[in-house]
Structure 1
Amino acid sequence: MTPGSAAPPDPRATDPGARVRVAIDAMGGERMPRAAVEGAVAAHLEGHQVVLVGDEAALKLELSRVGIELPVVHASDVIGMNEHATDVRRRRDSSVMVAMRLVKDGRAAACVSMGHSGATMAAAIFELGRVAGVDRAAILAALPTAAGATALLDAGANADCKPAYLQQFAVMGSAYVRSLWGVAEPKVGLMSNGEEPGKGNELTRAAHALLAATPGLGFVGNVEGRDLFTGGVDVIVTDGFTGNVILKQAEGEAKAIFAWVKDALSSGPRARLGGLLVRPALRRLAKRLDPAEYGAQPLLGVRGYAFIGHGSADARAVTSAVRTAARAVAAGAVERLSAAMAELAQGALGRDDVTAPR
């Protein structure tokens, strides 16, 4: 399989993950709880098992509106988008903490939250803990490419990083795309401002040397901003500050370009006629670039399945997030990631006879 040719599998495809129980933080996010309920109902109708976590009265009211019953676990509190992430430590009955605790206790296999991303990360670390050998958990974002997708991490969890963190991100990202995207030998690139090993700042130069010296890692060297969407590599690693800027810039640019195209195709009779002809192709492209198609991004490095969505997520994004989470559980992504980190610690990355510590 060529680099970047793999894509996140079609989340609507029938697979064993359809029976994985996913806990949904139904209060975190701008459109909650309605979007959470509608998205959960759609996932339920596809055959997925879901449990809604949040204000029981509010959730049952929304469920009565759609006429379907789903399991609800009450949480009396919610972490607002403008509150501190570390508030979760003392607010243990907040919806995201209760949802994450369901995963910890084995009552759910994965947690999805569209709320405060920092609070979701903190809740995952507090309740689930980190995988052995992981210093910092990282958010993985799927960037669409011409032939599939490229994994970018960290996409926002850690603004300041050490070279060892980027090495761990590379190992975790490779394990994830290998298990979930079917990439047998992922190629890893380091985001920098030039292809030469000496390019970049102190962090990227040190990280380049460390990645190049990591046995079993498919490191191919530096990549630049122009390489993000070409599909030349399967995994791109960077610090969370840069990664989040890349992600937000890509989302904003996609919206701007589609707005410009829309204006151009409505500028006159000929343009409108052309617009009618290309509309189906543009719709397919828009769907491919829509973050709601992925639903949520995995938080890699915690001992469980935690997914973080956009604060403005709608019902479709919630449904997609449930599908993505269920597929990750079915693929054993966390278990394979844990094994890869054990291999890194033992200097045996890429071997199949090393197992993760229990």
Structure 2
Amino acid sequence: MIRISIDAMGGDHGPEVTLPSLIRVAERRPDVHFVIYGDEKVVRPVLDGLPNLRKISEFIHCDVVVRMDDKPSQALRQGRWKSSMWRAIEAVKTGDADACISAGNTGALMAMSKFCLRTMADIERPAIAAIWPTIRGESIVLDVGATIGADAQQLVDFAILGAAMANALFDIERPTVGLLNVGVEEIKGQEEVKEAGRMLREANLNTMQYHGFVEGDDIGKGSVDVVVTEGFAGNIALKSAEGTARQIAEYLRQAMSRTLLARIGYFLAQEAFERLREKMDVRKINGGVFLGLKGIVVKSHGGADEEGFAAAVELGYEMVRSGVFDRTRSTLDLYHSRNPAMVAGRAVSSA
């Protein structure tokens, strides 16, 4: 049985979306159990209308709700111990849940997750990792918003974290890893990116294959299994890709309904268009994993519908089932054992 804690109050829609989505997950993952946290006055009426969900879940009332516009520091001060978001995260720390899912305030969720769960040893900052559809299948892109600006060692950490996630989720023995850059030539790019490339080449880890630099168009091509960047560029790339998918879908809808001949063509090629729609449905890839923490936390888009939130929950489920945490820990241990000077340098700088 895989137990998942749910912040039912998070997102733009709250329990009206988060709770019905769990039924979809349970239909596909019969070994799942939910621990739901939220305001009883809001959650109970929705939960009472979902008898099948009540059978596979338990509900815990929380007095405080973290709002979408709360500052992270404010949410941490006011929401600690009592909020649905904190309690859902804390359940992972105490072992009452294997993973936490929330569609709430991203900054607050990250701040609470770092404070409650702490980062893995020798990881300075966690990263948000997203699964990205590509021509070849799927890739992992990180960071997509947790760390704005990153030094070379943090980029190396992200590469290790992303490779471990790809190894577990995609069952790839040695995932290929690329650093996002403005060109593939070694002389191009910021010094932090060039230094990270040198460090990854010299590390020569047997848990990944360092590909080199990749450009923005390589993400969609699936040139590598893991694309590493800092959070500013990663978040822009993610939002641009989602917007482009919606833009193309709207262009197709308009084109297919413009004339009678176009509508006939759509009818004849309906199966192909349905497959295209499935590929371009951003709801199917909803969910960003907070990598580098001592526990699994997944952030859903705040505006996700039932299918989108269900995708985020299933991502958390797969993270648990595939043993990502243990694989990440062993990969980090291997790298740091080969680079004791780096570990010592961090200890000195933090002191």
Separation in 2, partners of 1:181, 1:51? 28
* 2:104 corresponding residue in structure 1: 115
* 1:34 corresponding residue in structure 2: 16
* 1:96 corresponding residue in structure 2: 85
After superposing the two structures, state which structure 1 stretch, 303-312 or 203-212, moved more. Answer: 203-212
* 2:314 corresponding residue in structure 1: 323
* 2:346 corresponding residue in structure 1: none
Higher helix share: 2
- Superposed CA deviations along residues 101-160 of structure 1, whole A, max 9, x for unmatched, are 111111111000111111111111111111111111001111111121111100110111
Separation in 2, partners of 1:95, 1:54? 5
After superposing the two structures, state which structure 1 stretch, 117-126 or 166-175, moved more. Answer: 117-126
* 1:312 corresponding residue in structure 2: 303
* 1:7 corresponding residue in structure 2: none
* 1:105 corresponding residue in structure 2: 94
Separation in 1, partners of 2:181, 2:189? 5
Query: Which residue type is aligned with residue 82 of structure 1?
Result: D
Question: What is the aligned counterpart of 1:271 among 240, 248, 262?
Answer: 262
Q: Does 1:150 align with 2:139?
A: yes
Q: Does 1:184 align with 2:166?
A: no
Which has the higher relative contact order, 1 or 2, with Cα contacts under 8 A spaced 6 or more apart? Answer: 1
Separation in 2, partners of 1:213, 1:278? 51
CA shift, 1:206, in A, is 2.2
Runs of 4 or more consecutive aligned structure 1 residues displaced over 4 Å after TM superposition: none
Task: List alignment gaps of at least 5 residues for structure 2.
Answer: 340-351
Query: Which residue type is aligned with residue 15 of structure 2?
Result: P
TM-score (ref. length: structure 2): 0.90
When the two chains are superposed, the root-mean-square deviation of aligned CA atoms in Å is 1.6
Q: Does 1:78 align with 2:68?
A: no
Query: Which residue type is aligned with residue 36 of structure 1?
Result: T
* 2:26 corresponding residue in structure 1: 44
Instruction: Provide the secondary structure at the position in 1 that maps to 2:95.
Output: coil
* 1:20 corresponding residue in structure 2: 2
Q: Is the 8 A contact 2:132 2:285 kept in 1?
A: no
Counterpart mapping for 1:230-249 below 5 A:
230-249=221-240
Q: Is the 8 A contact 2:245 2:282 kept in 1?
A: no
TM-score (ref. length: structure 1): 0.89
CA shift, 1:220, in A, is 1.2
Counterpart mapping for 1:116-265 below 5 A:
116-216=105-205, 217-265=208-256
Q: Is the 8 A contact 2:11 2:302 kept in 1?
A: yes
- Superposed CA deviations along residues 175-213 of structure 1, whole A, max 9, x for unmatched, are 011011101111111111111011112222222222222
Task: List alignment gaps of at least 5 residues for structure 1.
Answer: 1-18, 349-358
* 1:12 corresponding residue in structure 2: none
CA shift, 1:45, in A, is 4.1
Q: Does 1:58 align with 2:49?
A: no
Q: Does 1:334 align with 2:316?
A: no
Q: Is the 8 A contact 2:76 2:108 kept in 1?
A: no
Separation in 2, partners of 1:209, 1:167? 10
Separation in 1, partners of 2:165, 2:48? 38
Q: Is the 8 A contact 2:68 2:105 kept in 1?
A: yes
Query: Which residue type is aligned with residue 295 of structure 2?
Result: G
After superposing the two structures, state which structure 1 stretch, 73-82 or 85-94, moved more. Answer: 85-94
After superposing the two structures, state which structure 1 stretch, 86-95 or 304-313, moved more. Answer: 86-95
Separation in 1, partners of 2:146, 2:104? 14
Separation in 1, partners of 2:253, 2:283? 20
Separation in 2, partners of 1:324, 1:72? 22
